[in-house]
């Protein structure tokens, strides 16, 4: 059985092992694959594994041996699942592998903004504390989280985990979710999205990107937020209209944003958020702790074993 990994470097730049995968078939690994290289590298493969390399209907039509596509992520929009279904190709993803790590990154951004860790560490290293007349200094607001309202847009596994962390800080948790009020614990209040943006001190996005919600965070919603509010996005960059967010930050209509995702990755040099006021950006690494990546690889192997046994799991299409 021929297995091809099209873009394995981001998942495993060398600190993990592919050995378990190699026991499942004749395995070929590529760090990265360009669109022009997909067909040549995939020829003859029964199993294709991809993270961000797109598999289009055109690719799928020209790969007669292909029986299984494993997406090395939770989101699977890189695969034309309609074309795969028409061919009877199994498509699987890796759910929930990074849930603890994403919640951790949400609060890494929140705490950096609240306490300005990056700023003050830089100031100390520049010698400002050494030359300060007092035993301490600060030149930004320092924010205590106790009692603050955090609004979660989406309450799946990452949203719920983030809620648990917030409750540990003594925050009040509101959520916009399809779950009924009866499905929520009493400490999480179900609210309409407009209420959350208008009333919460922090809003954190935990919903998938769809055609319906693309750029739903725009001037209309941002203008309803408190000027002291913070926006966090560890979900998908396309949920936010980036120019609108940059304008809100630069004009002081919004205090700060902490982002781990952008609409195009890597971003274009002219992305307005790269120079926006109080905009803190990490390079899509919420998922990338070694523990989360090891879980991803373990689930990947179990997905393939289940497929080989005739009982595939984590299917994203029904055949």
> The domain at 99-281 falls in which architecture?
3-Layer(aba) Sandwich (3.40)
Domain residue ranges in the chain? 2-95+290-308, 99-281
At 128 the pLDDT is 97
Q: What mean pLDDT, rounded, does the chain reach?
A: 97
* Coil vs helix vs strand at 303: helix
At 139 the pLDDT is 97
Residue 93's closest CA among 111, 109, 106, 77? 77
Structural Rg of the chain based on CA atoms: 22
Overall pTM > 0.95? no
Angle, helices 290-308/99-115, rounded to nearest 10 degrees:
160
On the question of a common fold for 2-95+290-308 and 99-281, the answer reads yes
Sign of the CA dihedral with 298 first, then 302, 307, and 309 last: positive
At 318 the pLDDT is 83
Q: How confident is the model at residue 319 (pLDDT cuts 50, 70, 90)?
A: confident
Active site residues: 236, 265, 284
Q: How confident is the model at residue 256 (pLDDT cuts 50, 70, 90)?
A: very high
2-95+290-308 belongs to CATH 3.40.50.720: yes
pLDDT tens track for 181-209: 999 999 999 999 999 999 999 999 999 99
Beta strands 2-5 and 47-50 are parallel
pLDDT tens track for 11-53: 999 999 999 999 999 999 999 999 999 999 999 999 999 999 9
Q: In what order do the strands lie in the sheet with 172-176?
A: 188-190, 172-176, 149-153, 202-205, 230-233, 256-259, 279-281
Q: Using CA atoms, how far apart are residues 169 and 232, in angstroms rounded to an integer?
A: 17
The CA–CA distances, whole Å, from 173 to 176, 179, 231, 257 equal: 10, 15, 15, 19
| Nearest-5° Cα angle at 44, 40 to 47 | 105
Cis peptide, bond prior to residue 64, ω within 30 of zero: no
The CA–CA distances, whole Å, from 316 to 5, 268, 284 equal: 19, 31, 23
Q: Per-residue pLDDT for 317 more than 90?
A: no
Residue 318, classified by CB atoms within 10 Å of its CB into exposed (0-12), middle (13-18) or buried (19+), is: exposed
* Coil vs helix vs strand at 166: helix
The CA–CA distances, whole Å, from 224 to 16, 147, 251 equal: 45, 21, 14
């Amino acid at each position: 059985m021929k297995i091809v990994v099209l873009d394995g470097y981001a998942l495993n730049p060398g600190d993990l092992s592919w050995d378990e995968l190699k026991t499942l078939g004749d395995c070929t690994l590529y760090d990265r694959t360009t669109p022009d290289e997909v067909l040549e590298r995939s020829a003859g493969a029964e199993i294709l594994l991809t993270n961000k390399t797109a598999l289009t209907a055109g690719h799928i039509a020209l790969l007669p041996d292909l029986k299984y596509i494993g997406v090395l992520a939770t989101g699977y929009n890189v695969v034309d699942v309609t074309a795969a279904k028409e061919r009877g190709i199994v498509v699987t993803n890796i759910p929930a592998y990074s849930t603890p790590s994403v919640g951790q990154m949400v609060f890494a951004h929140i705490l950096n903004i609240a306490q300005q860790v990056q700023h003050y560490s830089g100031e100390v290293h520049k010698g400002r504390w050494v030359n300060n007349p007092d035993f301490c200094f600060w030149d930004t607001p320092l924010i205590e989280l106790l009692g603050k309202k955090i609004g979660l847009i989406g309450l799946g596994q990452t949203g719920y985990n983030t809620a648990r962390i917030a409750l540990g800080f003594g925050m009040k948790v509101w959520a916009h979710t399809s779950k009924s009020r009866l499905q929520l614990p009493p400490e999480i209040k179900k609210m309409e999205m407009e209420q959350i943006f208008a009333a919460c001190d922090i809003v954190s996005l935990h919903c998938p990107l769809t055609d319906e919600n693309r750029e739903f965070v725009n001037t209309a919603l941002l203008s309803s937020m408190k000027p002291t509010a913070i926006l966090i996005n560890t979900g998908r960059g396309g949920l936010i209209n980036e120019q609108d967010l940059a304008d809100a930050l630069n004009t002081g209509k919004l205090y700060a944003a902490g982002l781990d995702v952008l609409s195009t990755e890597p971003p274009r040099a002219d992305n307005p958020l790269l120079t926006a006021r109080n905009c803190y950006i990490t390079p899509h690494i919420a998922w990338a702790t070694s523990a989360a990546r090891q879980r991803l690889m373990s689930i990947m192997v179990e997905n393939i074993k289940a497929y080989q046994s005739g009982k595939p799991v984590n299917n994203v299409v029904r055949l």
